[in-house]
Amino acid sequence: MIWSIKGKKILAATHNQGKLEEISALLYPLGVTVVSAKDLDLPEPDETEDTFLGNARIKAHSGAKASGLPSLSDDSGIEIDALDGAPGVYTADWAETPSGRDFEMAMTKAHGLLEEKNAPFPRTGRFCCTLVIAWPSGKDVFF
């Protein structure tokens, strides 16, 4: 059955400690043990898709194939309506600096672009998050 998590162990396909802690806390009441891609020294696959679902699938399937465990991944970002949905899947890229991610810098960039466009108020947008669970068999489900 696609929904089973055999052995009650799942891979969080992330190297982000914060995400690992959040996923672990959510699954703990269900008796599920969570290990991360970082714990298993798995590489981070390139996110080459232009949708949250596509990138989450890449990470989940890569993790499931490499670990032999069901693998949970996410892709998320902010979509700003007046910027035609940008930064979208590139939210983290907008925050990239030589010394790590700076999301305040990314939001300053977004604000500057909104001002350049003289975007009308209210300036709307949304935070989007797509989750994918993939099994080593190649099956997946997404939320």
Catalytic residue, candidates 75, 93, 102, 140: 75
* CB atoms inside a 10 Å sphere around CB 53: 16
* CB atoms inside a 10 Å sphere around CB 116: 8
Cis peptide upstream of residue 98 (ω within 30 degrees of 0)? no
User: Is 75 known to be catalytic?
Assistant: yes
Question: Scanning the structure block, which residue is given the tokens 């799942």?
Answer: 10
Whole-angstrom distance, CA of residue 14 vs CA of residue 44: 8
Q: Which two tokens stand for residue 90?
A: 């590139």
- Distance, CA of 134 to chain centre: 14
Q: How are beta strands 33-36 and 100-101 bridged, if at all?
A: unpaired
Catalytic residues: 75
